[in-house]
């Protein structure tokens, strides 16, 4: 292991190299290493045409030059293979503008593919992605038009007459990772990291491909001082270490200030967590919370679904649930916003790849996820919206392997609503309908769910639907809502109207807590 300055990092990357980058949205990004690449490229126009590989691409949903936005300059990236492309808006825009071909793989697939690369295996065979845009019969993981001109990265195959997808391995030349500490020999500790993502698998895949591993840490510790259980990456996998202090001015992004309650080193009294106000988001979360059961393991997605944890806390039964995040935290209360991926007071934290072994095998009892578009077949799109290509993250792994799925979101995009007198009132309708004839991209397949006998609900603030073999069935409407005017007129297809159509529980629309029991 050699200690180098961040300015030297870019010189170690050659044109056309494949570069793996750690990080998960707002956590674990090697910021100083990415800045080195950006600055060197801006000055010297090299390294160019690199292939970048990352999971939930680092970024804070802005155009600031942090995370993957630092690699958005035209010519620097020649291809992207990511699970989520949109956390950095500049990088996501470059994908949408076809500046380079981009492939969006399910997050669990990407993690398991890194393991296959480390083991010199040809790839992975899995059911994950069938009947979604990852399926080569549909889009083959292509996130933009340029990707469709590239060599396919996924193939359809059959084993004992069952369909599977084969995702192909590729060598990795450089890994850019972030840890907490290194010792003098190069062992890397992750003791302050709330997310153990792809770091180990990227290091092992790169090392076994004959590449170099570069790790950013905030301090060098004496040899023998690190706890073995905190050392995720051994010295024999590490070539270079860069010392870089985290930037506290970035707020929650990249967790620059250590939060011990996210690693299990300290317990935070949850009474300090703010209870959310009543709005359409909380209405959806309350209705979803009515589906919860004691002693179950539940995945909560980013955005509106993480409000369900807040509702469970307010109602007093959070401790009766085990909440799971795809990045590997199990138990506790997921944190929302940019730092999503970690949990307050987790019971355990495992690497993302191992977590997806559990997920793929049906470990979860329920998942509560967001929705952006739903069509008459029950398909859901959360990954592609015109020029904005985000990718699926862990969405496909979760939804294809879990017994019960709840999708939640507002009924239209951008509506103005008010909750008064225990009922919902629409002040101004949103400009874009979400229930469409055909979704732009199939991130969740209704057909596949029916084949697997999964229970599927779609919860909005004004209506609840369930998936049936005959299509989407409307089963509940909110008090104060007109069926024709507020629901059916804003759908591009007519759902099945339940013969037992009910009004949503009025407690959902009250300011005081529901006194909900599970």
| 326: annotated active-site residue | yes
Q: Which residues contact 152 (CB under 8 A, 6 or more apart)?
A: 136, 140
Tokens of 218: 């905030």
Helix (H, G, I), strand (E, B) or coil at 338: helix
- Cα distances from 158 to residues 165, 191, 357, in angstroms, run 8, 43, 21
Cα atoms in the Cβ-side hemisphere of radius 13 Å centred on 352: 35
CA–CA dist 507, 92 (Å, integer): 40
Q: Which residues contact 482 (CB under 8 A, 6 or more apart)?
A: none
Q: Which of 280, 315, 326, 476 is catalytic?
A: 326
- Cα distances from 358 to residues 208, 335, 499, in angstroms, run 26, 22, 39
β partners of residue 457: 406, 466
Question: Could you tell me whether strands 219-221 and 231-233 are parallel, antiparallel, or unpaired per DSSP bridges?
Answer: unpaired
CA–CA dist 346, 77 (Å, integer): 37
Residues of 58-82 as b/e, b for ≥16 C-beta within 10 angstroms? Answer: bbbbeeeebbbbbbbbeebbbbbbb
Q: Which of 306, 447, 424, 287 is nearest to 377 (CA)?
A: 447
CB of 202 closer than 8 Å to CB of 177: yes
* H-assigned helices in 100-165: 107-118
CA–CA dist 123, 45 (Å, integer): 33
CB of 240 closer than 8 Å to CB of 2: yes
- Cα distances from 503 to residues 291, 311, 367, in angstroms, run 16, 21, 24
CB of 126 closer than 8 Å to CB of 414: no
Residues involved in catalysis:
326
């Amino acid at each position: 292991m050699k200690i180098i300055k961040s300015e030297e990092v870019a010189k170690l990357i050659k044109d056309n190299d494949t570069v793996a980058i750690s990080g998960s949205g707002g956590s674990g990004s090697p910021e100083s290493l990415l800045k080195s690449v950006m600055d060197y490229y801006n000055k010297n126009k090299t390294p160019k045409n690199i292939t970048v590989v990352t999971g939930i691409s680092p970024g804070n949903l802005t155009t600031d030059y942090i995370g993957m936005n630092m690699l958005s300059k035209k010519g620097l990236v020649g291809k992207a293979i990511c699970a989520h492309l949109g956390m950095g808006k500049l990088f996501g825009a470059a994908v949408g503008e076809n500046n380079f071909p981009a492939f969006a793989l399910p997050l669990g697939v990407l993690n398991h593919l890194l393991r296959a690369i480390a083991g010199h295996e040809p790839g992975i065979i899995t059911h994950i992605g069938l009947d979604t845009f990852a399926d080569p019969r549909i889009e083959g993981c292509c996130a933009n038009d340029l990707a469709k001109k590239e060599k396919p990265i996924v193939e359809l195959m059959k084993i004992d007459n069952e369909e599977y997808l084969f995702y192909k391995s590729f060598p990795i030349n450089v890994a850019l990772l972030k840890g907490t500490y290194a010792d003098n020999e190069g062992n890397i500790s992750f003791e302050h990291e709330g997310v153990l993502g792809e770091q180990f698998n990227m290091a092992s895949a790169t090392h076994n491909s004959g590449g170099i591993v570069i790790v950013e840490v905030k301090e060098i510790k004496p040899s023998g001082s690190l706890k073995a259980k905190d050392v995720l990456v051994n010295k024999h996998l590490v070539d270079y270490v860069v010392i870089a202090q985290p930037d506290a001015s970035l707020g929650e992004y990249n967790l620059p200030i250590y939060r011990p309650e996210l690693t299990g080193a300290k317990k935070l009294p949850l009474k300090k967590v703010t209870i959310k106000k009543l709005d359409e988001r909380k209405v959806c979360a309350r209705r979803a919370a009515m589906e919860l059961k004691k002693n179950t393991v539940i995945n909560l997605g980013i955005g509106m679904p993480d409000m369900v944890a807040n509702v469970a806390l307010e109602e007093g039964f959070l401790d009766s649930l085990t909440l799971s995040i795809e990045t590997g935290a199990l138990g506790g209360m997921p944190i929302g916003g940019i730092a999503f991926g970690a949990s307050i007071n987790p019971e355990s934290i495992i690497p993302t790849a191992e977590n997806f072994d559990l997920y793929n095998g049906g470990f979860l009892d329920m998942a509560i996820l967001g929705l952006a578009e739903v069509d008459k077949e029950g398909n859901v799109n959360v990954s592609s919206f015109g020029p904005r290509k985000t990718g699926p993250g862990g969405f496909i792994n979760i939804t294809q392997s879990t017994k019960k799925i709840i999708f939640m979101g507002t009924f239209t995009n951008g509506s103005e609503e008010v909750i008064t007198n225990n009922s919902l009132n629409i002040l101004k309708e949103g400009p874009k309908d979400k229930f469409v004839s055909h979704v732009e991209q199939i991130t969740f397949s209704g057909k596949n769910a029916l084949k697997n006998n999964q229970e599927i609900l779609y919860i909005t603030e004004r209506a609840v639907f369930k998936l049936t073999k005959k299509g989407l069935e409307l089963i509940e409407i909110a008090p104060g809502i007109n069926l024709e005017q507020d629901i059916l007129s804003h759908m591009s297809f007519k759902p099945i109207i339940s013969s037992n159509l009910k009004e949503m529980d009025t407690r959902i629309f009250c300011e005081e807590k529901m006194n909900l029991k599970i």
